[in-house]
Chains A and B, each alone.
Chain A
Amino acid sequence: MIRVQREDFDVGSELERLAARNHRIGGVASFVGLVRDMGRDDRVAALTLEHYPGMTERKLAEIETEAHRRWALDAVLIIHRYGRLEPGDRIVLVATASPHREAALAACHFLIDWLKTDAPFWKSEETPSGERWVEARAQDEAAKQRWHPR
């Protein structure tokens, strides 16, 4: 399931709901992305996340389908926020559920790596020297390349 929203989410209740009523599930893996207070070289007072409504949902759904194709998963949840967020705020939740841990852990890692290079979101930071658009990092592309096409 995909959700793109301005509002915060409750990690505990989201994970509980993901596995509820499906007793095939033996494990739930999750990743929560938070706003850091350090940017590339100075303090970040806040982040504003912009996205491309329509394409965002479409790319996230494609990423979800790809995870299902690669692993036997019982459930996938991706929640990504947009708007203005402050240090410590949650940005993203990726959660996966499967009968055994390997599929859930690997798929969760795969999903966050792919999401970072494929989902059309952009971050702008508020710093003491003004607003600054975050630049894409080469490491993110390298992290995605780890998951060779199958």
Chain B
Amino acid sequence: MKLLYFAWLRARIGCAEEEIELAPGVQNVAGLLDWLRSRSEKYAEALQDPSVIRVAVNQDYVGREHPVREGDEIAIFPPVTGG
């Protein structure tokens, strides 16, 4: 699956996008975020505050229970500040 990061999450994680293989047992957004936090200190630090993390699956906002599947485009970013 393709992961995209934006704004300060991109800066803290240190990349704009990456291709990952879905880890066994990861079924939804909450599971994916937990798995990412376990990858390294950098991810754990960037993703530590759930209140400022928004997630879009295939370009639609989703909640933490939304399923994730191989082939999804998943974007992780802070609350938006356009306009």
Contacts and interface: CB of A to CB of B under 8 A. Distances in A.
B5 to A, nearest CB: 10
A92 interface: yes
B44 to A, nearest CB: 19
A136 B82 contact: no
B6 A50 contact: yes
A136 B6 CA distance: 14
B25 interface: no
Contacts of B77: 52, 120, 122
Interface string B45-65: 000000000001001010000
A118 B7 contact: no
B40 interface: no
B59 A116 contact: no
30 contacts: A49-B82, A50-B7, A52-B4, A52-B6, A52-B56, A52-B75, A55-B56, A55-B59, A80-B82, A80-B83, A91-B82, A92-B82, A115-B82, A117-B80, A118-B61, A118-B80, A119-B82, A119-B83, A120-B77, A120-B80, A120-B82, A121-B81, A121-B82, A122-B7, A122-B77, A122-B80, A122-B81, A123-B81, A133-B8, A140-B83
Given A121-B80, A123-B81, A124-B7, 20 more contacts: A33-B83, A49-B82, A50-B7, A51-B82, A52-B77, A54-B59, A55-B56, A80-B83, A112-B83, A118-B80, A119-B80, A119-B83, A120-B77, A122-B77, A122-B81, A123-B82, A133-B78, A135-B81, A136-B81, A140-B83
